[in-house]
Structure 1
Amino acid sequence: MDEREGVGVADGYERLWTPHRMSYIQGEGKPTGDDADVEGCPFCEIPKLADEDGNIVVRGADMYVVLNKYPYNSGHLMVVPFRHVPDYTDLDAAEVAEMGALTQKAMTVLRSAMGAHGFNIGMNQGQVAGAGIAGHLHQHIVPRWGGDANFMPIIGRTKTLPQLLSDTRDELAAAWERV
Protein backbone atom coordinates (compact mmCIF):
# COMPACT_ATOMS: atom_id res chain seq x y z
CA MET A 1 0.00 0.00 0.00
CA ASP A 2 1.30 3.47 -0.91
CA GLU A 3 2.08 5.48 2.24
CA ARG A 4 0.23 8.43 0.69
CA GLU A 5 -2.93 6.47 0.09
CA GLY A 6 -5.90 8.12 1.73
CA VAL A 7 -4.30 11.55 2.16
CA GLY A 8 -5.15 13.00 -1.23
CA VAL A 9 -4.00 12.79 -4.79
CA ALA A 10 -0.35 11.80 -5.12
CA ASP A 11 1.33 14.78 -6.77
CA GLY A 12 5.02 14.20 -6.17
CA TYR A 13 5.30 16.66 -3.25
CA GLU A 14 6.55 15.65 0.15
CA ARG A 15 4.68 17.11 3.08
CA LEU A 16 5.92 18.07 6.48
CA TRP A 17 2.91 17.92 8.78
CA THR A 18 2.94 20.32 11.74
CA PRO A 19 -0.37 19.81 13.55
CA HIS A 20 1.05 21.34 16.74
CA ARG A 21 0.86 24.76 15.02
CA MET A 22 -2.95 24.65 14.77
CA SER A 23 -3.29 25.97 18.32
CA TYR A 24 -1.18 28.98 17.31
CA ILE A 25 -3.03 29.53 14.03
CA GLN A 26 -6.40 29.36 15.79
CA GLY A 27 -5.24 31.72 18.52
CA GLU A 28 -5.70 29.21 21.32
CA GLY A 29 -4.92 30.83 24.66
CA LYS A 30 -3.96 34.09 22.98
CA PRO A 31 -5.53 37.31 24.21
CA THR A 32 -6.66 39.68 21.48
CA GLY A 33 -6.41 43.42 21.20
CA ASP A 34 -3.83 45.93 22.36
CA ASP A 35 -5.38 46.24 25.81
CA ALA A 36 -5.86 42.55 26.61
CA ASP A 37 -6.31 41.76 30.28
CA VAL A 38 -3.82 39.99 32.49
CA GLU A 39 -6.28 37.11 32.81
CA GLY A 40 -5.35 34.49 30.25
CA CYS A 41 -2.15 36.27 29.16
CA PRO A 42 0.46 33.60 28.40
CA PHE A 43 3.31 35.96 29.31
CA CYS A 44 1.77 36.42 32.76
CA GLU A 45 1.23 32.65 33.14
CA ILE A 46 4.68 31.45 32.03
CA PRO A 47 6.57 32.78 35.10
CA LYS A 48 4.22 30.79 37.35
CA LEU A 49 5.66 27.58 35.86
CA ALA A 50 8.96 25.89 36.61
CA ASP A 51 11.66 27.22 34.27
CA GLU A 52 11.84 23.95 32.32
CA ASP A 53 8.07 23.76 31.88
CA GLY A 54 7.80 27.39 30.76
CA ASN A 55 10.98 27.29 28.62
CA ILE A 56 12.42 30.13 30.70
CA VAL A 57 16.15 30.50 30.20
CA VAL A 58 16.75 33.03 33.00
CA ARG A 59 14.80 35.28 35.38
CA GLY A 60 15.90 38.81 36.19
CA ALA A 61 14.52 41.31 38.69
CA ASP A 62 11.85 42.78 36.37
CA MET A 63 12.14 40.64 33.22
CA TYR A 64 12.58 37.05 32.14
CA VAL A 65 14.09 35.48 29.02
CA VAL A 66 12.03 32.73 27.41
CA LEU A 67 12.15 30.66 24.24
CA ASN A 68 9.52 31.54 21.69
CA LYS A 69 7.02 28.67 21.54
CA TYR A 70 6.70 29.16 17.76
CA PRO A 71 10.27 30.15 16.80
CA TYR A 72 11.52 31.58 13.53
CA ASN A 73 14.88 29.89 14.20
CA SER A 74 16.28 27.63 16.90
CA GLY A 75 17.26 29.76 19.87
CA HIS A 76 14.58 32.42 19.19
CA LEU A 77 14.34 34.18 22.55
CA MET A 78 12.09 36.86 23.98
CA VAL A 79 12.75 39.28 26.81
CA VAL A 80 9.47 39.78 28.66
CA PRO A 81 8.61 42.02 31.61
CA PHE A 82 6.96 40.31 34.57
CA ARG A 83 4.66 43.32 34.71
CA HIS A 84 1.75 43.23 32.25
CA VAL A 85 2.30 46.32 30.08
CA PRO A 86 1.50 46.69 26.37
CA ASP A 87 3.94 49.39 25.27
CA TYR A 88 7.66 50.11 25.51
CA THR A 89 6.83 53.59 26.80
CA ASP A 90 5.12 51.96 29.81
CA LEU A 91 8.46 50.65 31.13
CA ASP A 92 10.31 52.55 33.84
CA ALA A 93 14.04 53.30 33.60
CA ALA A 94 15.08 50.19 35.54
CA GLU A 95 12.98 47.94 33.29
CA VAL A 96 14.39 49.53 30.12
CA ALA A 97 17.92 49.01 31.47
CA GLU A 98 17.25 45.39 32.35
CA MET A 99 15.68 44.68 28.97
CA GLY A 100 18.79 46.06 27.30
CA ALA A 101 21.17 44.14 29.56
CA LEU A 102 19.29 40.86 29.07
CA THR A 103 19.26 41.42 25.30
CA GLN A 104 23.03 41.94 25.29
CA LYS A 105 23.60 38.84 27.41
CA ALA A 106 21.24 36.80 25.22
CA MET A 107 23.27 37.77 22.15
CA THR A 108 26.49 36.73 23.89
CA VAL A 109 24.95 33.43 25.00
CA LEU A 110 23.53 32.65 21.53
CA ARG A 111 26.91 33.35 19.93
CA SER A 112 28.69 31.17 22.48
CA ALA A 113 26.25 28.26 22.67
CA MET A 114 24.89 28.15 19.13
CA GLY A 115 27.42 30.02 17.01
CA ALA A 116 24.93 32.67 15.86
CA HIS A 117 26.33 34.86 13.05
CA GLY A 118 23.86 37.72 13.49
CA PHE A 119 20.50 38.69 14.97
CA ASN A 120 17.12 40.18 14.26
CA ILE A 121 16.07 42.09 17.38
CA GLY A 122 12.85 43.99 17.84
CA MET A 123 9.33 44.31 19.10
CA ASN A 124 6.00 44.76 17.37
CA GLN A 125 4.01 47.44 19.16
CA GLY A 126 0.28 46.94 18.76
CA GLN A 127 -1.83 44.39 16.96
CA VAL A 128 -1.76 46.38 13.69
CA ALA A 129 2.06 46.28 13.81
CA GLY A 130 2.05 42.49 13.97
CA ALA A 131 2.20 41.83 17.71
CA GLY A 132 0.78 38.37 18.27
CA ILE A 133 0.18 39.16 21.93
CA ALA A 134 -0.19 42.93 21.85
CA GLY A 135 -1.33 43.33 25.45
CA HIS A 136 2.01 42.23 26.96
CA LEU A 137 5.24 43.76 25.72
CA HIS A 138 7.98 41.40 24.57
CA GLN A 139 11.19 41.82 22.59
CA HIS A 140 12.34 39.18 20.11
CA ILE A 141 15.95 38.09 19.74
CA VAL A 142 16.22 35.86 16.67
CA PRO A 143 19.63 34.30 16.00
CA ARG A 144 20.65 34.11 12.36
CA TRP A 145 23.20 32.07 10.43
CA GLY A 146 24.51 32.41 6.91
CA GLY A 147 22.22 30.39 4.65
CA ASP A 148 19.46 29.90 7.24
CA ALA A 149 16.89 31.29 4.81
CA ASN A 150 17.03 28.40 2.37
CA PHE A 151 14.40 27.08 -0.03
CA MET A 152 12.21 25.58 2.71
CA PRO A 153 10.68 28.83 4.01
CA ILE A 154 10.99 30.70 0.74
CA ILE A 155 9.55 28.14 -1.67
CA GLY A 156 8.20 25.43 0.60
CA ARG A 157 6.68 27.87 3.12
CA THR A 158 7.95 25.50 5.81
CA LYS A 159 10.36 26.26 8.63
CA THR A 160 12.63 23.46 9.76
CA LEU A 161 14.01 23.61 13.29
CA PRO A 162 16.82 21.19 14.10
CA GLN A 163 16.40 21.20 17.88
CA LEU A 164 13.51 20.64 20.29
CA LEU A 165 12.54 23.63 22.47
CA SER A 166 13.33 21.75 25.68
CA ASP A 167 16.83 20.87 24.43
CA THR A 168 17.44 24.47 23.32
CA ARG A 169 16.24 25.78 26.71
CA ASP A 170 18.57 23.43 28.58
CA GLU A 171 21.53 24.38 26.38
CA LEU A 172 20.95 28.14 26.67
CA ALA A 173 20.21 28.06 30.42
CA ALA A 174 23.51 26.24 31.01
CA ALA A 175 25.37 28.66 28.72
CA TRP A 176 23.79 31.64 30.49
CA GLU A 177 25.59 30.59 33.67
CA ARG A 178 28.93 30.10 31.88
CA VAL A 179 29.00 33.33 29.85
Structure 2
Amino acid sequence: MDWPRPWYSILWAPWRMSYITNVVEKREGGCFLCESPKMGDDRKALIVYRGRQAFIILNRYPYNTGHLMVAPYRHVSSLEDLTDEELLEMIRLVKASMEALRQAYRPEGFNIGVNIGDVAGAGVPGHVHIHVVPRWKGDANYITVIGGTKVISQALEETYDLLRPKLEEAARRYGLG
Protein backbone atom coordinates (compact mmCIF):
# COMPACT_ATOMS: atom_id res chain seq x y z
CA MET A 1 0.00 0.00 0.00
CA ASP A 2 1.31 3.43 -0.93
CA TRP A 3 1.27 6.02 1.80
CA PRO A 4 -0.12 8.52 1.55
CA ARG A 5 -2.70 7.25 -0.86
CA PRO A 6 -3.12 9.43 -3.97
CA TRP A 7 -6.57 10.59 -2.80
CA TYR A 8 -5.40 11.21 0.73
CA SER A 9 -3.65 14.34 1.94
CA ILE A 10 -2.33 15.14 5.39
CA LEU A 11 -2.51 18.50 7.09
CA TRP A 12 0.37 18.19 9.55
CA ALA A 13 -0.10 20.35 12.62
CA PRO A 14 2.42 19.28 15.28
CA TRP A 15 2.56 22.82 16.73
CA ARG A 16 -0.99 22.28 17.98
CA MET A 17 0.38 19.94 20.68
CA SER A 18 0.91 23.03 22.85
CA TYR A 19 -2.83 23.63 22.58
CA ILE A 20 -3.65 20.04 23.43
CA THR A 21 -1.25 19.78 26.36
CA ASN A 22 -1.47 23.30 27.77
CA VAL A 23 -4.90 24.70 27.03
CA VAL A 24 -7.31 21.79 26.86
CA GLU A 25 -5.96 20.09 30.00
CA LYS A 26 -6.14 23.30 32.04
CA ARG A 27 -9.62 24.27 30.88
CA GLU A 28 -11.51 21.81 33.08
CA GLY A 29 -15.09 23.05 33.24
CA GLY A 30 -14.43 26.29 31.39
CA CYS A 31 -15.28 27.01 27.77
CA PHE A 32 -13.27 29.73 26.07
CA LEU A 33 -15.99 30.11 23.42
CA CYS A 34 -18.45 30.97 26.21
CA GLU A 35 -15.97 33.09 28.19
CA SER A 36 -14.47 35.13 25.31
CA PRO A 37 -17.63 37.12 24.44
CA LYS A 38 -17.99 38.08 28.12
CA MET A 39 -14.45 39.48 28.46
CA GLY A 40 -15.47 43.00 27.46
CA ASP A 41 -12.40 43.47 25.25
CA ASP A 42 -12.96 42.00 21.79
CA ARG A 43 -9.37 42.67 20.74
CA LYS A 44 -7.97 40.77 23.73
CA ALA A 45 -10.54 38.01 23.21
CA LEU A 46 -9.68 37.99 19.46
CA ILE A 47 -13.37 38.38 18.52
CA VAL A 48 -13.27 40.03 15.11
CA TYR A 49 -17.03 40.20 14.56
CA ARG A 50 -20.17 39.88 16.69
CA GLY A 51 -23.50 38.91 15.20
CA ARG A 52 -26.82 38.53 17.00
CA GLN A 53 -26.64 34.74 17.38
CA ALA A 54 -22.96 33.98 16.72
CA PHE A 55 -19.50 35.53 16.50
CA ILE A 56 -16.21 35.17 14.62
CA ILE A 57 -13.03 34.65 16.62
CA LEU A 58 -9.41 34.23 15.56
CA ASN A 59 -7.96 30.84 16.40
CA ARG A 60 -5.22 31.42 18.99
CA TYR A 61 -3.45 28.27 17.71
CA PRO A 62 -3.96 28.69 13.95
CA TYR A 63 -3.24 26.23 11.19
CA ASN A 64 -2.56 29.24 8.95
CA THR A 65 -2.63 33.02 9.15
CA GLY A 66 -6.27 34.12 9.19
CA HIS A 67 -7.65 30.89 10.71
CA LEU A 68 -11.10 31.88 11.98
CA MET A 69 -13.79 30.12 13.97
CA VAL A 70 -17.51 30.88 13.83
CA ALA A 71 -19.36 29.96 17.02
CA PRO A 72 -22.82 30.52 18.50
CA TYR A 73 -23.04 32.39 21.78
CA ARG A 74 -25.09 29.51 23.15
CA HIS A 75 -23.12 26.52 24.48
CA VAL A 76 -24.34 23.59 22.37
CA SER A 77 -22.33 20.59 21.26
CA SER A 78 -23.74 19.78 17.83
CA LEU A 79 -25.31 21.33 14.75
CA GLU A 80 -28.61 19.58 15.53
CA ASP A 81 -28.82 21.57 18.76
CA LEU A 82 -28.71 24.93 16.99
CA THR A 83 -31.84 26.89 16.18
CA ASP A 84 -32.46 27.60 12.50
CA GLU A 85 -31.62 31.25 13.17
CA GLU A 86 -28.28 30.37 14.78
CA LEU A 87 -27.33 27.99 11.99
CA LEU A 88 -28.28 30.45 9.24
CA GLU A 89 -26.31 33.25 10.87
CA MET A 90 -23.29 30.99 11.32
CA ILE A 91 -23.33 30.07 7.62
CA ARG A 92 -23.62 33.74 6.69
CA LEU A 93 -20.68 34.47 8.97
CA VAL A 94 -18.67 31.74 7.22
CA LYS A 95 -19.44 33.44 3.89
CA ALA A 96 -18.44 36.83 5.31
CA SER A 97 -15.24 35.27 6.70
CA MET A 98 -14.32 33.84 3.31
CA GLU A 99 -14.94 37.18 1.62
CA ALA A 100 -12.84 39.10 4.17
CA LEU A 101 -10.03 36.54 4.00
CA ARG A 102 -10.03 36.69 0.19
CA GLN A 103 -9.68 40.48 0.32
CA ALA A 104 -7.01 40.42 3.01
CA TYR A 105 -4.84 37.45 2.01
CA ARG A 106 -5.88 36.18 -1.43
CA PRO A 107 -5.93 32.49 -0.45
CA GLU A 108 -6.11 29.87 -3.19
CA GLY A 109 -8.64 27.78 -1.28
CA PHE A 110 -10.27 27.13 2.07
CA ASN A 111 -10.82 24.32 4.51
CA ILE A 112 -14.23 24.76 6.14
CA GLY A 113 -14.99 22.24 8.85
CA VAL A 114 -16.88 21.21 11.94
CA ASN A 115 -15.49 18.61 14.33
CA ILE A 116 -18.23 17.20 16.54
CA GLY A 117 -17.04 15.13 19.49
CA ASP A 118 -13.63 14.21 20.87
CA VAL A 119 -13.14 11.31 18.47
CA ALA A 120 -13.76 13.62 15.52
CA GLY A 121 -10.96 15.92 16.64
CA ALA A 122 -12.98 18.60 18.40
CA GLY A 123 -10.68 20.64 20.65
CA VAL A 124 -13.78 22.14 22.29
CA PRO A 125 -16.21 19.22 22.09
CA GLY A 126 -18.97 20.91 24.10
CA HIS A 127 -19.28 24.07 21.98
CA VAL A 128 -19.90 23.57 18.26
CA HIS A 129 -17.96 25.89 15.95
CA ILE A 130 -16.98 26.11 12.29
CA HIS A 131 -13.34 26.46 11.27
CA VAL A 132 -12.52 28.69 8.29
CA VAL A 133 -8.91 28.07 7.27
CA PRO A 134 -7.41 29.91 4.28
CA ARG A 135 -5.04 27.75 2.20
CA TRP A 136 -2.25 28.36 -0.30
CA LYS A 137 -0.21 25.99 -2.40
CA GLY A 138 2.86 25.05 -0.39
CA ASP A 139 1.51 26.26 2.96
CA ALA A 140 2.75 23.03 4.54
CA ASN A 141 6.42 23.47 3.76
CA TYR A 142 9.73 21.91 4.76
CA ILE A 143 9.93 23.44 8.23
CA THR A 144 6.39 22.30 8.99
CA VAL A 145 6.72 18.73 7.78
CA ILE A 146 10.33 18.01 8.80
CA GLY A 147 10.87 20.40 11.70
CA GLY A 148 7.44 20.11 13.28
CA THR A 149 7.20 23.90 13.36
CA LYS A 150 4.57 26.10 11.74
CA VAL A 151 5.51 29.57 10.60
CA ILE A 152 2.61 31.97 11.05
CA SER A 153 3.62 35.04 9.12
CA GLN A 154 1.54 37.59 10.99
CA ALA A 155 0.93 38.37 14.66
CA LEU A 156 -2.63 37.69 15.82
CA GLU A 157 -3.07 41.38 16.68
CA GLU A 158 -2.13 42.39 13.12
CA THR A 159 -4.50 39.78 11.72
CA TYR A 160 -7.24 41.15 13.98
CA ASP A 161 -6.65 44.74 12.81
CA LEU A 162 -6.66 43.71 9.15
CA LEU A 163 -9.72 41.46 9.27
CA ARG A 164 -12.07 43.32 11.62
CA PRO A 165 -13.08 46.13 9.22
CA LYS A 166 -13.27 43.71 6.28
CA LEU A 167 -15.54 41.39 8.27
CA GLU A 168 -17.82 44.24 9.30
CA GLU A 169 -18.16 45.26 5.65
CA ALA A 170 -18.70 41.69 4.42
CA ALA A 171 -21.22 40.97 7.18
CA ARG A 172 -23.33 43.96 6.10
CA ARG A 173 -23.47 42.52 2.57
CA TYR A 174 -24.91 39.30 4.00
CA GLY A 175 -27.54 41.16 6.01
CA LEU A 176 -25.80 40.73 9.34
CA GLY A 177 -24.90 44.23 10.43
Please tell me the TM-score bracket, short chain as reference. Answer: 0.7 to 0.9
In structure 2, runs of 5+ residues without a counterpart are 1-14, 171-177
Separation in structure 2 between the aligned mates of residue 153 and residue 162 of structure 1, nearest angstrom: 13
Amino acid of the structure 1 residue aligned with 2:27: K
Amino acid of the structure 2 residue aligned with 1:65: I
Percentage identity across aligned positions?
Answer: 46
Report deviation, 1:22. 4.1
Separation in structure 2 between the aligned mates of residue 69 and residue 28 of structure 1, nearest angstrom: 16
Corresponding residue for 2:31? Answer: 41
Amino acid of the structure 2 residue aligned with 1:56: I
Per the normalisation by structure 1, the TM-score is: 0.80
Corresponding residue for 2:175? Answer: none
- SS of residue paired to 1:116: coil
Corresponding residue for 2:27? Answer: 30
Corresponding residue for 2:140? Answer: 149
Q: Deviations over 1:67-121 (max 9, x none)?
A: 0010000000000110000011101111111011000010000000111111000
Q: Determine if the alignment matches structure 1 residue 60 to structure 2 residue 57.
A: no
Bigger Rg, structure 1 or 2: 1
Corresponding residue for 1:9? Answer: none
Separation in structure 2 between the aligned mates of residue 101 and residue 82 of structure 1, nearest angstrom: 15
Separation in structure 1 between the aligned mates of residue 157 and residue 105 of structure 2, nearest angstrom: 15
Q: Count residues with an aligned counterpart.
A: 154
In structure 1, runs of 5+ residues without a counterpart are 1-17, 32-38
Alignment of 1:112-123 (within 5 A): 112-123=103-114
Per the normalisation by structure 2, the TM-score is: 0.81
Separation in structure 1 between the aligned mates of residue 18 and residue 99 of structure 2, nearest angstrom: 33
Task: Name segments (4+ residues, structure 1) moved above 6 Å.
Answer: none
Report deviation, 1:177. 3.1
Q: Deviations over 1:109-154 (max 9, x none)?
A: 0000111111000011001111011011111000011221111221
Contact between 1:122 and 1:139, CA under 8 Å: does it hold in 2?
yes
RMSD of aligned Cα (Å)? 1.8
- SS of residue paired to 1:157: coil
